[in-house]
Amino acid sequence: MRDKIYYITTPIYYANAPLHIGHAYSTVAVDVAKRWQALKGRETFMLTGMDEHGEKIYQSAEKSQVKPQDWVDRYAEDAKKLWSFMNVSYDGFVRTTDNCHKKTVEEVFKKLLAQGDIYSADYEGPYCVSCETFFTEQQVKDAVGCCPDCGKKITEIKKESALFFRLSSYGEKLLNFYKANPDFLQPTAAANKTIDTVTRGLKDLCVTREKVKWGISVPGDPSKTIYVWFDALINYLSGAGFPHDMERFRKLWPADCHIVGKEIYYFHTVIWPAMLMALDLPLPKKVYGHGWWTLRNDKISKSTGNIVTPYEVCEQLHPDILRFFFLREMPFGTDGAFSLVRIEERYVADLANPLGNLFKRTEVMLSKYFGGKTPSDGSFDGEILQKQKEVLLKFSSLMDELQFHGALNSLWELVDAANRFIEEKKPWVLYKEKSPRLNDVMLTLEGCLEFCTGLLSPFMPVKCAEMASHLDCEIKMPEPGAIRKGQLIPGGEILFPALVKK
């Protein structure tokens, strides 16, 4: 049997406010992980999309006197524009208002109802209108009368006749699953929280809303709509072809990885796997909860009103630089402070200086000493070969674990080693002395540039295409010690020019 397609997903984003760098962060991380798998030769599928139902979206549209469908259409278009601006290469884009998705949700709902995993009862409890979520008295008390998610005051106690998902009966099974599949919950800090919550015991989940008009109607009871989270999580199935294209679904499912922000980790590691268990479908292989970008110590978010968009950040910088910064600046899983100054510092310290100069110096020397070609004879330096081997091993295993930050650190060990190699070998002296060692040095340096171009390509696809055109090489998984003799090295414009202060 052919390898299963590597299937990775982003959260689907609420269609009620412009997307900001927080959203771009998740999407770029998924894109990088997908491109890494593709570089390794796997067939890949990346799913993203929009979460378009619910009271909050309905209210936003109404306030702006726009029809809800027109409202969400606009945000879906904006998202597609943003992902193209950020060089994100997604393969599927689900919108929860798509008919195909709605049908999947209805089918899932009907099946769970028929088998008794969804049952009807009355529900009363504190309700956050903003998050469209019921909370327990205790949760609201702990959050001093506010919503534990968005922090807004909870003013409503809601009572409805409702349908419930039998979440409570999956606690034991979930704990067994986590134990048997230690890769499923990542990273460890997030995992522990989930395990604690499930160990304390789960309550059944109300999966319908009575007064929310903008949603998928409960099959057989149009007075109710399906809870947005129940609807939204199913995008990972509908976007993979379930059940309308089972041939495709079988190649994709189970998802290899869901990447989500830590605030929605619970939904993805408790509710979602329980739903899949009820459906008798295999569970995703990994759910990775990443941290937040903060600004003035607050999470960047619409509700705190401190939004920064990728467009603003990229007024002066190529979007690839933002992509690189996202994953280079902080370990995946922790929080970090976002600042333009930090991006510029990183740009200079990692890209313009060590990498940009390595390119420039190598190209200039090849042009001066070999007429713009690589030497037609010579061999790869033994020490740098060893370094490349070590770096490739480390880089690969860290990328497989989504430790982007560590992977880039290890690649920079090679960039630094190559720069030191120039200083130590002094090619200008070898040239003057007409030493045959010059051939080895220059072949080795050019080999290092190709090596970096390949491994950096998931992070900076456009910049790496430029790098590849400087070298007239293909972008591919590098092989340590690979050299190309007698090849034209066309070079080109400075890859990482100095920033002009505005």
Residues from 248 through 267 that contact ligand MSP (CB under 6 A): 260-261, 263-264
412 Cα distance to chain centroid? 22
Interface with ligand MSP includes 55 (CB under 6 A)?
no
Interface with ligand MSP includes 227 (CB under 6 A)?
no
- Shortest distance in whole angstroms from residue 299 CB to ligand MSP: 5
CA 106 to CA 111: how far, in whole Å? 9
Question: Could you give the 3-state DSSP secondary structure of residue 320?
Answer: helix
Residues from 277 through 336 that contact ligand MSP (CB under 6 A): 292-293, 299-301
Interface with ligand MSP includes 269 (CB under 6 A)?
no
Among 8, 22, 324, 388, binds ligand MSP (CB under 6 A): 22
Interface with ligand MSP includes 232 (CB under 6 A)?
yes
Among 5, 7, 8, 23, binds ligand MSP (CB under 6 A): 23
Interface with ligand MSP includes 14 (CB under 6 A)?
yes
CA 194 to CA 265: how far, in whole Å? 8
Q: In this structure, what token pair is assigned to residue 408?
A: 């880039």
Residues from 378 through 417 that contact ligand MSP (CB under 6 A): none
Distance of CA 23 to CAs 15, 17, 131, 313, Å? 12, 11, 17, 14
Say if residues 17 and 304 touch (Cβ distance below 8 Å): no
CA 384 to CA 441: how far, in whole Å? 10
- Shortest distance in whole angstroms from residue 227 CB to ligand MSP: 12
Residues from 71 through 90 that contact ligand MSP (CB under 6 A): none
CA 419 to CA 15: how far, in whole Å? 47
Phi, psi of 407 (to 5 degrees): -60, -45
217-218 sheet: strands from edge to edge = 208-209, 221-226, 217-218
- Shortest distance in whole angstroms from residue 198 CB to ligand MSP: 19
Of 238 and 403, CB closest to ligand MSP: 238
- State the greatest distance between any 2 C-alpha atoms of the chain, in Å, as a whole number: 90
Q: Under rule CB under 6 A, how many of the chain's residues touch ligand MSP?
A: 21
Interface with ligand MSP includes 25 (CB under 6 A)?
yes
Q: What is the DSSP string of 462-474?
A: HHHHHHHHHHT--
Interface with ligand MSP includes 51 (CB under 6 A)?
yes
- Shortest distance in whole angstroms from residue 128 CB to ligand MSP: 14
- Shortest distance in whole angstroms from residue 20 CB to ligand MSP: 7
- Shortest distance in whole angstroms from residue 224 CB to ligand MSP: 20
Among 5, 6, 7, 11, binds ligand MSP (CB under 6 A): 11
Q: In this structure, what token pair is assigned to residue 174?
A: 């979930």
CA dihedral (194, 195, 198, 199) positive or negative? negative
In angstroms, the first-to-last Cα distance of the chain is 57
Q: Which stretch binds ligand MSP (CB under 6 A): 20-28, 82-90, 160-168, 480-488?
A: 20-28
Q: Which stretch binds ligand MSP (CB under 6 A): 231-239, 384-392, 460-468, 486-494?
A: 231-239
Q: In this structure, what token pair is assigned to residue 430?
A: 């070898």
Report the residue closest to ligand MSP, judged by CB. Answer: 22
User: How many C-beta atoms surround the C-beta of residue 349 within 10 A?
Assistant: 12
Interface with ligand MSP includes 12 (CB under 6 A)?
yes
Give residues in contact with ligand MSP (CB under 6 A): 11-14, 22-23, 25-26, 51, 232-233, 235, 260-261, 263-264, 292-293, 299-301
